[in-house]
Amino acid sequence: MLHPKLAAFNRTLEALFNEVDEILEDEWGDSFSLNPNRPEWGATDNPEMDGLFEIAPDFTAGFGSEKGRGYLISLRAATLDNVTPEQLEFLMGSAAVLIKQKLPEYFPGRELEVVRDGKMFKIIGDFSLGEV
């Protein structure tokens, strides 16, 4: 069972990623053909389960990372088409920019930033829960 403040943080983070998923689907959802086993965007209650893109935060303790702990920005395109490394990099960069722009809206007063950590983008900063 999660602490209520951590659960609230996770819900807010999920809402942020759902909004970014919607923007990516609107902008680039027709860039590749959808995997035939994947529902069309908006067909489920969970944006991670439908449409071309699956974008999610993955917490990492940051062992071996110069940037330390944070949430990796995980992006996957649900397609059987060939997605080049350059195309994936463009999509990941676009998602990172959107998340960076929206962090203050979803987490006002928190010092959070999006940085490059190796080949991935990561959200780092103040993940404190305050008084527990």
Query: Does residue 69 belong to any structural domain of this protein?
Result: no
Query: Does residue 71 belong to any structural domain of this protein?
Result: no
Lowest mean pLDDT among 32-41, 95-104, 119-128: 32-41
Q: pLDDT tens, 43-61? A: 888 877 778 999 999 999 9
Say if pTM beats, i.e. exceeds, 0.85.
Answer: yes
Number of domains in the chain: 1
Residue range(s) defining the domain that contains residue 105: 4-61+78-125
C-alpha distance from residue 4 to each of 12, 46, 72, 99 (Å): 12, 22, 22, 24
Query: Does residue 83 belong to any structural domain of this protein?
Result: yes
Query: Does residue 119 belong to any structural domain of this protein?
Result: yes
Structure confidence at residue 36 (pLDDT) = 87
Q: Does residue 132 carry a pLDDT above 80?
A: no
3-class SS string, 7-71: HHHHHHHHHHHHHHHHHHHHHHCCCCCCCCCCCCCCCCCCHHHCCCEEEEEEEECCCCCCCCCEE
Query: Does residue 41 belong to any structural domain of this protein?
Result: yes
Query: Does residue 67 belong to any structural domain of this protein?
Result: no
Across 82-92, average pLDDT? 96
Query: Does residue 51 belong to any structural domain of this protein?
Result: yes
